[in-house]
Structure 1
Amino acid sequence: MPQRPKTLTPSRGPLDLFGSEVRRYRELGKLSLAQLGNQIPYSSSMISAVERGESGCERIFAEECDRVLDTREALTHLHDGLFDGRTAAFPEHFADWPQYETTAETLRSYQPLVIHGLLQTPSYAEVLLYGDQQAVQSRIDRQIILTRNEPPPPRLIYILPERVLRSRVGTAAVMYEQLHQLADAVSRRLSVQVIPDGAPHPGNLGGFTIATLPGNLQTAYTLSEPHGRILDGLSELERLHQRFADISTYALPAELSAALIKEIAEELWKP
Protein backbone atom coordinates (compact mmCIF):
# COMPACT_ATOMS: atom_id res chain seq x y z
CA MET A 1 0.00 0.00 0.00
CA PRO A 2 1.50 3.39 -0.93
CA GLN A 3 2.50 5.68 1.92
CA ARG A 4 -0.11 8.33 2.71
CA PRO A 5 1.24 11.80 1.89
CA LYS A 6 2.27 13.77 4.94
CA THR A 7 -0.13 16.59 5.79
CA LEU A 8 1.79 19.85 5.40
CA THR A 9 1.18 23.16 7.14
CA PRO A 10 2.87 25.80 4.96
CA SER A 11 2.73 28.38 7.74
CA ARG A 12 5.02 26.19 9.88
CA GLY A 13 8.10 27.25 7.99
CA PRO A 14 9.94 27.53 4.66
CA LEU A 15 10.54 23.80 4.21
CA ASP A 16 6.83 22.96 4.53
CA LEU A 17 5.84 25.86 2.29
CA PHE A 18 8.29 24.96 -0.47
CA GLY A 19 7.45 21.25 -0.21
CA SER A 20 3.72 21.89 -0.43
CA GLU A 21 4.20 23.89 -3.64
CA VAL A 22 6.38 21.20 -5.25
CA ARG A 23 3.70 18.62 -4.45
CA ARG A 24 0.91 20.90 -5.73
CA TYR A 25 2.59 21.51 -9.08
CA ARG A 26 3.52 17.84 -9.48
CA GLU A 27 -0.05 16.77 -8.86
CA LEU A 28 -1.37 19.45 -11.24
CA GLY A 29 0.99 17.98 -13.83
CA LYS A 30 -0.46 14.50 -13.11
CA LEU A 31 2.98 13.02 -12.45
CA SER A 32 3.90 10.49 -9.80
CA LEU A 33 7.08 10.83 -7.77
CA ALA A 34 8.71 8.19 -9.96
CA GLN A 35 7.61 9.89 -13.18
CA LEU A 36 9.00 13.25 -12.09
CA GLY A 37 12.19 11.54 -10.91
CA ASN A 38 12.65 10.06 -14.38
CA GLN A 39 12.67 13.54 -15.92
CA ILE A 40 14.94 15.44 -13.51
CA PRO A 41 18.36 14.46 -12.06
CA TYR A 42 16.91 13.67 -8.63
CA SER A 43 15.53 10.43 -7.21
CA SER A 44 11.89 9.95 -6.27
CA SER A 45 12.98 9.53 -2.63
CA MET A 46 14.71 12.94 -2.74
CA ILE A 47 11.62 14.56 -4.28
CA SER A 48 9.45 12.92 -1.63
CA ALA A 49 11.68 14.23 1.19
CA VAL A 50 11.46 17.76 -0.21
CA GLU A 51 7.68 17.53 -0.59
CA ARG A 52 7.32 16.33 3.01
CA GLY A 53 9.33 19.31 4.25
CA GLU A 54 11.99 16.98 5.62
CA SER A 55 14.86 18.04 3.37
CA GLY A 56 16.18 21.19 1.79
CA CYS A 57 17.25 21.32 -1.84
CA GLU A 58 19.53 23.26 -4.15
CA ARG A 59 18.18 26.00 -6.40
CA ILE A 60 18.74 23.78 -9.43
CA PHE A 61 16.16 21.35 -8.01
CA ALA A 62 13.55 24.13 -8.28
CA GLU A 63 14.76 25.00 -11.78
CA GLU A 64 14.43 21.39 -12.98
CA CYS A 65 10.96 21.05 -11.49
CA ASP A 66 9.92 24.32 -13.15
CA ARG A 67 11.15 23.02 -16.51
CA VAL A 68 9.26 19.72 -16.36
CA LEU A 69 6.11 20.98 -14.64
CA ASP A 70 5.84 24.16 -16.74
CA THR A 71 5.40 26.44 -13.70
CA ARG A 72 6.76 29.61 -15.37
CA GLU A 73 9.65 29.64 -12.84
CA ALA A 74 7.28 29.72 -9.85
CA LEU A 75 9.32 27.26 -7.78
CA THR A 76 12.62 28.98 -8.55
CA HIS A 77 11.14 32.33 -7.57
CA LEU A 78 9.78 30.81 -4.34
CA HIS A 79 13.13 29.16 -3.55
CA ASP A 80 14.94 32.48 -4.01
CA GLY A 81 12.49 34.23 -1.71
CA LEU A 82 12.66 31.61 1.02
CA PHE A 83 16.31 30.62 0.90
CA ASP A 84 18.06 33.47 -0.96
CA GLY A 85 19.36 31.05 -3.58
CA ARG A 86 20.92 28.68 -1.03
CA THR A 87 20.01 25.19 0.04
CA ALA A 88 17.46 25.06 2.83
CA ALA A 89 20.18 24.04 5.24
CA PHE A 90 18.23 23.70 8.48
CA PRO A 91 16.99 20.20 9.36
CA GLU A 92 13.25 19.74 9.86
CA HIS A 93 13.37 19.70 13.67
CA PHE A 94 15.21 23.07 13.69
CA ALA A 95 13.67 24.76 10.65
CA ASP A 96 11.12 26.82 12.61
CA TRP A 97 13.50 27.98 15.35
CA PRO A 98 15.34 30.77 13.44
CA GLN A 99 11.97 32.49 13.01
CA TYR A 100 11.52 32.53 16.79
CA GLU A 101 15.07 33.89 17.19
CA THR A 102 14.26 36.66 14.73
CA THR A 103 11.14 37.82 16.59
CA ALA A 104 12.43 37.24 20.14
CA GLU A 105 12.87 40.14 22.53
CA THR A 106 15.00 38.05 24.92
CA LEU A 107 16.94 34.80 24.48
CA ARG A 108 18.18 32.87 27.52
CA SER A 109 20.49 30.05 26.58
CA TYR A 110 22.59 27.38 28.28
CA GLN A 111 24.89 25.33 26.04
CA PRO A 112 27.11 22.74 27.79
CA LEU A 113 29.04 21.27 24.83
CA VAL A 114 29.93 23.89 22.19
CA ILE A 115 29.73 27.66 21.64
CA HIS A 116 26.22 28.89 20.86
CA GLY A 117 25.50 28.98 17.11
CA LEU A 118 24.64 32.69 17.23
CA LEU A 119 28.18 33.40 18.48
CA GLN A 120 30.26 30.97 16.41
CA THR A 121 32.96 32.07 13.98
CA PRO A 122 32.74 30.66 10.43
CA SER A 123 35.84 28.51 11.06
CA TYR A 124 34.43 27.04 14.27
CA ALA A 125 31.07 26.35 12.62
CA GLU A 126 32.78 24.75 9.62
CA VAL A 127 34.40 22.14 11.85
CA LEU A 128 31.14 21.33 13.62
CA LEU A 129 29.24 21.11 10.31
CA TYR A 130 31.89 18.95 8.60
CA GLY A 131 32.72 21.55 5.99
CA ASP A 132 29.16 21.96 4.64
CA GLN A 133 29.51 25.53 3.37
CA GLN A 134 25.80 26.08 2.81
CA ALA A 135 24.99 24.98 6.34
CA VAL A 136 27.80 27.17 7.68
CA GLN A 137 26.50 30.20 5.79
CA SER A 138 22.97 29.59 7.05
CA ARG A 139 24.28 29.47 10.62
CA ILE A 140 26.28 32.66 10.18
CA ASP A 141 23.33 34.39 8.53
CA ARG A 142 21.28 33.80 11.69
CA GLN A 143 23.71 36.03 13.58
CA ILE A 144 22.49 39.19 11.85
CA ILE A 145 19.75 39.50 14.48
CA LEU A 146 22.42 40.47 17.03
CA THR A 147 23.67 43.49 15.04
CA ARG A 148 20.51 44.77 13.33
CA ASN A 149 19.11 48.24 14.01
CA GLU A 150 15.39 47.73 13.48
CA PRO A 151 13.83 46.08 15.31
CA PRO A 152 16.33 46.23 18.18
CA PRO A 153 18.45 43.10 18.64
CA PRO A 154 17.17 40.56 21.17
CA ARG A 155 18.71 40.62 24.63
CA LEU A 156 20.88 37.47 24.73
CA ILE A 157 21.84 35.94 28.09
CA TYR A 158 24.19 33.04 27.43
CA ILE A 159 25.71 30.67 30.01
CA LEU A 160 28.32 27.99 29.32
CA PRO A 161 30.66 25.80 31.40
CA GLU A 162 34.37 26.59 31.33
CA ARG A 163 35.09 23.18 29.83
CA VAL A 164 33.55 24.36 26.52
CA LEU A 165 36.36 26.91 26.29
CA ARG A 166 38.93 24.19 26.86
CA SER A 167 37.44 21.60 24.49
CA ARG A 168 39.25 21.72 21.18
CA VAL A 169 37.18 22.23 18.03
CA GLY A 170 39.45 22.28 14.98
CA THR A 171 42.89 23.84 15.32
CA ALA A 172 44.34 26.02 18.06
CA ALA A 173 43.96 28.99 15.70
CA VAL A 174 40.25 28.25 15.32
CA MET A 175 39.81 28.16 19.09
CA TYR A 176 41.88 31.31 19.63
CA GLU A 177 39.79 33.30 17.17
CA GLN A 178 36.55 31.88 18.55
CA LEU A 179 37.29 32.67 22.18
CA HIS A 180 38.40 36.22 21.46
CA GLN A 181 35.30 36.86 19.37
CA LEU A 182 33.15 35.44 22.15
CA ALA A 183 34.74 37.67 24.78
CA ASP A 184 34.53 40.75 22.55
CA ALA A 185 30.82 40.12 21.91
CA VAL A 186 29.91 41.00 25.51
CA SER A 187 27.86 44.20 25.55
CA ARG A 188 24.89 45.84 27.17
CA ARG A 189 22.50 43.56 25.27
CA LEU A 190 24.67 40.43 25.14
CA SER A 191 25.78 38.71 28.32
CA VAL A 192 28.20 35.78 28.27
CA GLN A 193 28.67 34.07 31.65
CA VAL A 194 31.03 31.20 32.38
CA ILE A 195 30.58 28.54 35.05
CA PRO A 196 34.11 27.91 36.41
CA ASP A 197 35.44 24.36 36.32
CA GLY A 198 34.71 22.51 39.53
CA ALA A 199 31.54 24.42 40.37
CA PRO A 200 28.68 21.94 40.84
CA HIS A 201 25.57 22.96 38.93
CA PRO A 202 22.29 21.45 37.66
CA GLY A 203 23.17 21.88 33.98
CA ASN A 204 23.99 18.31 33.01
CA LEU A 205 20.68 17.45 31.32
CA GLY A 206 21.45 19.14 27.99
CA GLY A 207 21.38 22.55 26.39
CA PHE A 208 18.34 24.73 25.78
CA THR A 209 17.28 28.22 24.72
CA ILE A 210 14.19 30.07 25.94
CA ALA A 211 12.77 32.76 23.66
CA THR A 212 10.54 35.50 25.04
CA LEU A 213 8.45 36.92 22.19
CA PRO A 214 6.34 40.08 21.89
CA GLY A 215 3.30 39.95 24.15
CA ASN A 216 5.33 37.93 26.68
CA LEU A 217 4.71 34.75 24.69
CA GLN A 218 7.41 32.14 25.19
CA THR A 219 8.80 29.08 23.51
CA ALA A 220 11.99 27.04 23.88
CA TYR A 221 14.35 24.82 21.93
CA THR A 222 15.96 21.92 23.77
CA LEU A 223 18.81 19.66 22.70
CA SER A 224 18.08 15.95 23.04
CA GLU A 225 18.65 12.67 21.23
CA PRO A 226 18.20 11.93 18.40
CA HIS A 227 17.57 15.62 17.73
CA GLY A 228 16.30 18.78 19.38
CA ARG A 229 12.70 19.90 19.66
CA ILE A 230 10.65 23.04 20.15
CA LEU A 231 8.56 23.31 23.32
CA ASP A 232 5.70 25.63 24.17
CA GLY A 233 3.93 23.88 27.05
CA LEU A 234 3.53 26.06 30.13
CA SER A 235 4.81 23.46 32.61
CA GLU A 236 7.81 22.64 30.40
CA LEU A 237 8.72 26.31 30.05
CA GLU A 238 8.41 26.88 33.78
CA ARG A 239 10.81 24.00 34.46
CA LEU A 240 13.33 25.39 31.95
CA HIS A 241 13.10 28.86 33.49
CA GLN A 242 13.77 27.38 36.92
CA ARG A 243 16.70 25.36 35.62
CA PHE A 244 18.17 28.42 33.92
CA ALA A 245 17.84 30.41 37.15
CA ASP A 246 19.50 27.61 39.13
CA ILE A 247 22.37 27.32 36.63
CA SER A 248 22.94 31.08 36.54
CA THR A 249 23.70 31.20 40.27
CA TYR A 250 26.95 29.32 39.58
CA ALA A 251 28.12 31.57 36.72
CA LEU A 252 30.61 34.42 36.90
CA PRO A 253 29.43 37.95 36.03
CA ALA A 254 29.83 38.90 32.37
CA GLU A 255 32.88 41.13 32.91
CA LEU A 256 34.79 38.45 34.84
CA SER A 257 33.67 35.84 32.32
CA ALA A 258 35.07 37.86 29.41
CA ALA A 259 38.40 38.17 31.23
CA LEU A 260 38.48 34.41 31.88
CA ILE A 261 37.68 33.63 28.24
CA LYS A 262 40.57 35.77 27.01
CA GLU A 263 42.89 34.29 29.63
CA ILE A 264 42.13 30.75 28.45
CA ALA A 265 42.57 31.82 24.82
CA GLU A 266 46.03 33.20 25.51
CA GLU A 267 47.21 30.37 27.79
CA LEU A 268 45.74 27.41 25.91
CA TRP A 269 45.06 28.30 22.29
CA LYS A 270 47.43 31.03 21.18
CA PRO A 271 49.02 29.69 17.94
Structure 2
Amino acid sequence: MRLMREAKKVKQETIAHLTKVSAPQVSKIEAGKRRATRAFAVAVDDYLGAGGALVNLWEDLNKDGHPVPIWFDWPVIEADAAMLVCYEQSVMPGLAQTPAYASAILHGNQEAVEARISRQAIITGGDRTVPPTLVIMVDEQALHRPVGTSETMSSFQRDAVSRS
Protein backbone atom coordinates (compact mmCIF):
# COMPACT_ATOMS: atom_id res chain seq x y z
CA MET A 1 0.00 0.00 0.00
CA ARG A 2 2.79 2.40 0.91
CA LEU A 3 4.50 1.91 -2.46
CA MET A 4 1.24 2.56 -4.30
CA ARG A 5 0.48 5.59 -2.12
CA GLU A 6 3.95 7.08 -2.59
CA ALA A 7 3.90 6.42 -6.35
CA LYS A 8 0.72 8.55 -6.53
CA LYS A 9 2.30 11.16 -4.20
CA VAL A 10 -0.52 10.72 -1.70
CA LYS A 11 0.20 11.50 1.95
CA GLN A 12 -0.74 9.29 4.89
CA GLU A 13 -2.88 12.14 6.18
CA THR A 14 -4.97 11.97 3.00
CA ILE A 15 -5.53 8.22 3.47
CA ALA A 16 -6.34 8.88 7.14
CA HIS A 17 -8.96 11.48 6.21
CA LEU A 18 -10.43 9.24 3.52
CA THR A 19 -10.72 6.20 5.82
CA LYS A 20 -11.51 8.10 9.02
CA VAL A 21 -8.54 6.67 10.93
CA SER A 22 -5.58 8.58 12.31
CA ALA A 23 -2.38 9.12 10.33
CA PRO A 24 -0.40 7.09 12.92
CA GLN A 25 -2.86 4.21 12.34
CA VAL A 26 -2.24 4.42 8.59
CA SER A 27 1.48 4.28 9.30
CA LYS A 28 1.02 1.20 11.48
CA ILE A 29 -1.09 -0.51 8.80
CA GLU A 30 1.59 0.21 6.19
CA ALA A 31 4.28 -1.16 8.52
CA GLY A 32 2.27 -4.32 9.19
CA LYS A 33 1.87 -3.47 12.87
CA ARG A 34 -1.89 -2.91 12.67
CA ARG A 35 -4.46 -4.93 10.76
CA ALA A 36 -6.57 -3.10 8.19
CA THR A 37 -10.29 -3.67 7.91
CA ARG A 38 -11.78 -4.75 4.61
CA ALA A 39 -13.54 -1.38 4.35
CA PHE A 40 -10.15 0.34 4.73
CA ALA A 41 -8.63 -1.86 1.99
CA VAL A 42 -11.56 -1.15 -0.35
CA ALA A 43 -11.45 2.61 0.22
CA VAL A 44 -7.68 2.86 -0.27
CA ASP A 45 -7.75 0.52 -3.27
CA ASP A 46 -10.43 2.69 -4.93
CA TYR A 47 -8.67 5.97 -4.10
CA LEU A 48 -5.26 4.78 -5.34
CA GLY A 49 -6.73 3.06 -8.40
CA ALA A 50 -5.09 -0.22 -7.42
CA GLY A 51 -7.55 -2.27 -9.48
CA GLY A 52 -8.50 -4.55 -6.61
CA ALA A 53 -4.89 -5.43 -5.68
CA LEU A 54 -5.22 -4.20 -2.10
CA VAL A 55 -8.60 -5.89 -1.64
CA ASN A 56 -7.22 -9.16 -3.04
CA LEU A 57 -4.27 -8.93 -0.66
CA TRP A 58 -6.59 -8.27 2.28
CA GLU A 59 -8.71 -11.28 1.30
CA ASP A 60 -5.61 -13.47 0.99
CA LEU A 61 -4.50 -12.40 4.46
CA ASN A 62 -7.92 -13.19 5.92
CA LYS A 63 -8.82 -16.47 4.20
CA ASP A 64 -11.34 -18.67 5.98
CA GLY A 65 -11.63 -16.14 8.79
CA HIS A 66 -7.98 -16.58 9.73
CA PRO A 67 -6.24 -13.27 10.44
CA VAL A 68 -2.96 -14.43 8.89
CA PRO A 69 -2.21 -16.01 5.54
CA ILE A 70 -2.78 -19.73 5.31
CA TRP A 71 0.89 -20.14 4.32
CA PHE A 72 2.14 -18.49 7.51
CA ASP A 73 2.64 -21.38 9.91
CA TRP A 74 4.07 -19.71 13.00
CA PRO A 75 4.25 -22.85 15.20
CA VAL A 76 6.45 -24.55 12.59
CA ILE A 77 8.75 -21.54 12.47
CA GLU A 78 8.93 -21.40 16.29
CA ALA A 79 9.61 -25.13 16.50
CA ASP A 80 12.76 -24.69 14.38
CA ALA A 81 14.07 -21.71 16.35
CA ALA A 82 17.14 -21.87 18.55
CA MET A 83 15.97 -18.83 20.53
CA LEU A 84 12.58 -17.17 20.93
CA VAL A 85 12.52 -13.57 22.09
CA CYS A 86 9.34 -11.66 22.77
CA TYR A 87 8.46 -8.35 24.38
CA GLU A 88 4.97 -7.51 25.48
CA GLN A 89 3.88 -4.22 26.88
CA SER A 90 0.25 -4.95 27.74
CA VAL A 91 -0.29 -8.66 28.32
CA MET A 92 1.69 -11.80 28.95
CA PRO A 93 3.02 -13.45 25.78
CA GLY A 94 1.16 -16.49 24.49
CA LEU A 95 4.02 -18.85 25.37
CA ALA A 96 3.62 -17.85 29.03
CA GLN A 97 -0.18 -17.80 29.28
CA THR A 98 -2.31 -20.24 31.23
CA PRO A 99 -5.44 -21.66 29.56
CA ALA A 100 -7.69 -19.38 31.64
CA TYR A 101 -5.59 -16.30 30.81
CA ALA A 102 -5.56 -17.20 27.10
CA SER A 103 -9.32 -17.77 27.18
CA ALA A 104 -9.86 -14.30 28.65
CA ILE A 105 -7.59 -12.69 26.03
CA LEU A 106 -9.16 -14.66 23.16
CA HIS A 107 -12.75 -14.07 24.34
CA GLY A 108 -13.42 -17.74 25.02
CA ASN A 109 -12.52 -18.96 21.51
CA GLN A 110 -11.63 -22.49 22.61
CA GLU A 111 -9.98 -23.48 19.31
CA ALA A 112 -7.68 -20.45 19.51
CA VAL A 113 -6.95 -21.14 23.21
CA GLU A 114 -5.99 -24.75 22.46
CA ALA A 115 -3.77 -23.65 19.57
CA ARG A 116 -2.04 -21.09 21.78
CA ILE A 117 -1.49 -23.47 24.69
CA SER A 118 -0.30 -26.27 22.39
CA ARG A 119 2.50 -23.95 21.21
CA GLN A 120 3.96 -24.18 24.71
CA ALA A 121 5.20 -27.71 23.89
CA ILE A 122 7.94 -25.88 21.99
CA ILE A 123 9.48 -24.65 25.25
CA THR A 124 8.76 -27.72 27.37
CA GLY A 125 10.68 -29.97 25.01
CA GLY A 126 8.00 -31.41 22.76
CA ASP A 127 9.67 -33.45 20.02
CA ARG A 128 13.03 -31.73 20.41
CA THR A 129 15.89 -32.95 22.54
CA VAL A 130 16.92 -29.35 23.27
CA PRO A 131 14.12 -26.78 23.41
CA PRO A 132 14.82 -23.24 22.23
CA THR A 133 15.99 -20.62 24.67
CA LEU A 134 13.03 -18.45 25.61
CA VAL A 135 13.56 -14.80 26.48
CA ILE A 136 10.49 -12.89 27.59
CA MET A 137 10.55 -9.22 28.45
CA VAL A 138 7.34 -7.92 29.95
CA ASP A 139 6.41 -4.50 31.16
CA GLU A 140 5.75 -4.82 34.90
CA GLN A 141 2.24 -3.46 34.47
CA ALA A 142 1.34 -6.52 32.36
CA LEU A 143 1.91 -8.59 35.50
CA HIS A 144 -0.62 -6.53 37.43
CA ARG A 145 -3.15 -5.68 34.69
CA PRO A 146 -6.38 -7.62 35.36
CA VAL A 147 -7.20 -10.14 32.64
CA GLY A 148 -10.39 -12.16 33.03
CA THR A 149 -11.61 -12.83 36.55
CA SER A 150 -9.72 -12.55 39.83
CA GLU A 151 -9.49 -16.39 39.77
CA THR A 152 -7.80 -16.17 36.34
CA MET A 153 -5.19 -13.79 37.71
CA SER A 154 -4.65 -15.80 40.91
CA SER A 155 -4.10 -19.02 38.96
CA PHE A 156 -1.85 -17.21 36.50
CA GLN A 157 0.29 -15.74 39.27
CA ARG A 158 0.47 -19.12 41.07
CA ASP A 159 1.48 -20.84 37.86
CA ALA A 160 4.04 -18.14 37.03
CA VAL A 161 5.69 -18.58 40.44
CA SER A 162 5.84 -22.37 40.05
CA ARG A 163 7.50 -22.02 36.60
CA SER A 164 10.24 -19.67 37.77
The corresponding residue for 2:95 is 118
Which of the numbers 130, 146, 156 marks the counterpart of 2:134? 156
- Identity, in percent, stands at 35
Aligned AA for 2:129? Answer: P
The answer to whether structure 1 residue 175 and structure 2 residue 153 are counterparts is yes
Secondary structure of 1:114's partner? coil
TM-superposed deviation, 1:53: 6.3
Partner of 1:92: 68
What is the CA–CA distance in structure 1 between the aligned matches of 2:136 and 2:124, rounded to whole Å? Answer: 16
Distance 1:115 1:56 in 2: 27
DSSP 3-state at the match of 1:115 = coil
Residue of structure 2 in register with 1:54 after alignment: 62
Helix, strand or coil: the match of 2:131?
A: coil
Structure 2 residue 97 is matched with structure 1 residue 109:
no
Query: Unpaired segments of 5 or more residues in structure 1?
Result: 1-48, 58-89, 187-271
TM alignment of 1:241-252, pairs within 5 A? none
Q: Aligned pair count?
A: 104
- For residues 64 and 125 of structure 2, the distance between their equivalents in structure 1, rounded to whole angstroms, comes to 27
Task: Find the aligned partners of 2:119 and 2:64 in 1 and give their Cα distance.
Answer: 17
Distance 2:63 2:129 in 1: 30
Q: Residues 3-42 of structure 1: matches in 2 within 5 Å?
A: none
Greater strand share, structure number: 1
Secondary structure at the residue paired with 2:68? Answer: coil
Using the TM superposition, give the Cα deviation of residue 165 of structure 1 relative to its aligned residue in structure 2, in angstroms.
1.2
Render the CA deviation track for 1:4-55: whole Å, top value 9, x for unaligned.
Answer: xxxxxxxxxxxxxxxxxxxxxxxxxxxxxxxxxxxxxxxxxxxxx6xx4633
More helix by share: 2
TM-score by length of 2: 0.56
Q: What is the CA–CA distance in structure 1 between the aligned matches of 2:78 and 2:160, rounded to whole Å?
A: 19
CA drift at 1:151: 3.4
- The DSSP-based 3-state class of the residue aligned with 1:168 is coil
Quote the offset at 1:93 in angstroms.
Answer: 5.7
Please give the root-mean-square deviation of Cα atoms over the aligned residues, in Å: 2.2
Read off the aligned partner of 1:181 and give its amino acid letter: D
Larger Rg: 1
